[in-house]
Amino acid sequence: MYNLESIVQRLEEQRYRITPSRLAVVTAALERSGHFSVHDILSQVPGVGRATVFRTMKLLSETGMLCRVLLEDGSLHYRVSRRQDHHHHLVCVSCGSVQELDACIDPEVLNDLARSTGYEIEGHWLEFFGRCAACRNDGA
């Protein structure tokens, strides 16, 4: 899992400037537990411009420091990455918990899809929705 020092170091290594506004957004994201929206971050950093927050969230996602999580209602949320590699999520439709998933689509499935559609697949994003064990047990 990332911390402030590791994120700043990684951004500097990739030659991104560490401005006070960018640092405020990173700090606000790290202070959140679980998943959060851009609007949650905006409310935490009132002195930072809206465009800066959106650009910083995009940068942190593209560099793998934040995960994008699509919730069942279609809203886009984020969470601090626990992993630095490509992964997917399990999202509980009852309590909203998000669990990182080790499994990924078989590369051969992606190759078949590319061949059958004529697309050159550059990436994918996959979320699974259901009820976690705790929510299923509460309902039993």
> Given the DSSP bridges, would you call strands 76-80 and 66-70 parallel, antiparallel or unpaired?
antiparallel
What is the per-residue pLDDT across 22-59, written as a single tens digit (0 to 9) for each?
999 999 999 998 889 999 999 999 999 999 999 999 99
As given in the structure block, the two tokens for residue 130 are 């259901």
What is the per-residue pLDDT across 92-116, written as a single tens digit (0 to 9) for each?
999 888 888 877 778 888 899 999 9
Domains, the chain, in order of start with CATH, read 1-84 (1.10.10.10), 85-140 (3.30.1490.190)
Contact status, residue 113 vs residue 122, Cβ threshold 8 Å: no
Output the pTM of the full model: 0.74
Question: 131: which residues sit within 8 A by CB, 6+ positions away?
Answer: 92, 93, 94, 139
Contact status, residue 91 vs residue 69, Cβ threshold 8 Å: yes
